[in-house]
Chains A and B, each alone.
Chain A
Amino acid sequence: MAKTPVQFTLNGAEKAEFIDSGATLLNALRDKIGDTSPKGGCHQGTCGACSVIIDGELRLSCLTLAETCNGAAITTTSGLSQGGVLHPLQRAFLDAFASQCGFCTPGMIMAAKVLLDRTPNPTRDEVVEALSGNICRCTGYEPIIQAVLTAARSNSQNAA
């Protein structure tokens, strides 16, 4: 199969790979680069488990061709903790028991991060709207919604 060179930054680090033409960003991240934090749930854009942030926008990596990401800045959940210190969203998910099997968690955290980056103090309805593209089987969503609201509060306290 033809290979295509692709360069982008992943969580701030330069990456350059030859990837199969037509490969999705999800495959490139997991199989070529080894970042397994985006999960392949449905591979058709309906579950949100593969969500990543591309140039500040929430994107489904299973529906994004890797070769369209040349020059992009990509963030995944594995890039959120700094020097072993968890991101406030990760901390809040832990404290709120917002994860059981954990398969949806990276996608949920990506969706929540894009929300909080734009809307630091969201209403509950805004949190629900932001998470509505992501499916969770275990938690019943309420602990996830509470975790995002808690992370927003702890962010605004740190900023104050």
Chain B
Amino acid sequence: MAIRRGRGVAAINYPTGMNLGGDPTQALVHSTPTGNFMVTLSSVDLGQGMKQIMAQICAETIGVPTDRVVVDTADTDTGPHCMGTFASRGTHRAGNAVIQAAREARQVMLEVAAEELEVNASDLETDGQGHILVKGAPQKSISIFDVALAAHFKRGRSISGRGMFLIPRSYPEKETGAMKPSTCYAHACTVAEVEVDDETGEVTVLTVKNVFEIGRALNPKMVEQQLVGGSWMGISHALYETTEPYYPNRDHGGTDFNQYLMPGPGDLAQTEIIVLERPSADGPFGAKGPGEMCANPQIPAIANAVFDAVGVRIDTLPITPERILRALKAQASN
């Protein structure tokens, strides 16, 4: 009886979004009379930072500072349609819709500015700080504040835009069954080191080293916090969490936090995160979906590390002490 060490590796591809009956998200953008911009969405911020990312995307597209953008996700009954915040789809789908809406709003904004400055709209550019300038003659300029006032009270224009992003449904080819379930994949690889007590079956995760390829990280600090949290959640799924420990039998499922186990702050593995950015072809500014996939590669990596440590393959999650001891017993009797 001993504490045995093992190391496991796993790599995953993870699709961004889903492909049931098509995967659409819509967005609306409009300016207030004082030249702030409102993004209206039904995509929900769960704490992952969707509002911040959509504000950045809108601001970058229109050419204003991010703090000039307000994102409203208040009401899924009245807002533009979104399939929802799941399947790592929020940044990719809603972001593309916001770009399209913001482009249309920007075009109206430039048209109004052109009328005010008596130039062609195509000769105008934004400085990203809230001003519209004549290309090559930046002394001739107008603030976006004044453009919005003019649009509302003088020109009778609505500085607004409509955005729509749809991944159409993909049907399998009759001959081969081949289909295109997603247009965009994130990737990850994890190496996990564990100790397994072959007397008690208890697993301790020592280190988890993750590399995530997530397209362009639109907000690197927020990407990092999501990946660190996701890596912990992956460990939790691998070793602890289940609502049906004897699935498909429903008995003995945890009904509260006394019974539903998760690792606490005292059970953390030493965690490393490396981000690789390979911009996606159809993502907003090259982004992919890092959300859900970041909690996946730890699971097979830990299963492989357990195999490396004690020589048993556990193919049912979570990898509990009971399952390890039963497998060790079966192995010994063979």
Interface of A toward B, CB cutoff 8 Å: 42, 44, 46-47, 97, 99-102, 127-129, 131-132, 135, 137-145
The 5 closest A-B pairs by CB, nearest first: A140-B232, A101-B47, A46-B257, A100-B47, A141-B265
Instruction: Verify if B226 is at the interface (C-beta below 8 Å from A).
Output: yes
Instruction: Verify if B233 is at the interface (C-beta below 8 Å from A).
Output: yes
Please tell me if the beta carbons of B265 and A132 are within 8 angstroms of each other in the complex. Answer: yes
User: Taking chain A's interface residues, is the majority helix, strand, or loop, or is none over half, making it mixed?
Assistant: loop
Closest to A44 in B: B256
User: Taking chain B's interface residues, is the majority helix, strand, or loop, or is none over half, making it mixed?
Assistant: helix
Please tell me if the beta carbons of A132 and B222 are within 8 angstroms of each other in the complex. Answer: no
Instruction: Verify if B334 is at the interface (C-beta below 8 Å from A).
Output: no
Please tell me if the beta carbons of A138 and B265 are within 8 angstroms of each other in the complex. Answer: no
Please tell me if the beta carbons of A100 and B48 are within 8 angstroms of each other in the complex. Answer: yes
Please tell me if the beta carbons of A47 and B47 are within 8 angstroms of each other in the complex. Answer: no
B46 contacts across to A, CB distance below 8 A: 101
Alpha-carbon separation in the docked complex, A14 to B232 (Å): 42
Residue with the highest number of chain A CB atoms closer than 10 Å, among B229, B230, B262, B268: B229
- Which residue from B48, B230, B264 sits with its C-beta under 8 Å from A141? B264
Please tell me if the beta carbons of A135 and B271 are within 8 angstroms of each other in the complex. Answer: no
Closest to A43 in B: B256
Alpha-carbon separation in the docked complex, A97 to B225 (Å): 7
A44 contacts across to B, CB distance below 8 A: 256-258
Please tell me if the beta carbons of A140 and B257 are within 8 angstroms of each other in the complex. Answer: no
Alpha-carbon separation in the docked complex, A74 to B46 (Å): 30
Q: Mark B234-265, 1 if CB is under 8 A from A, else 0.
A: 00000000000000000000001110001011
B3 to nearest A CB, angstroms? 21
Closest to A95 in B: B221
B234 to nearest A CB, angstroms? 10
Interface CB pairs A-B, < 8 A, 21: A42-B257, A46-B256, A46-B257, A46-B258, A97-B224, A100-B47, A101-B47, A102-B47, A128-B265, A132-B266, A135-B264, A137-B233, A138-B47, A139-B229, A140-B231, A140-B233, A140-B268, A141-B268, A143-B228, A144-B265, A145-B265
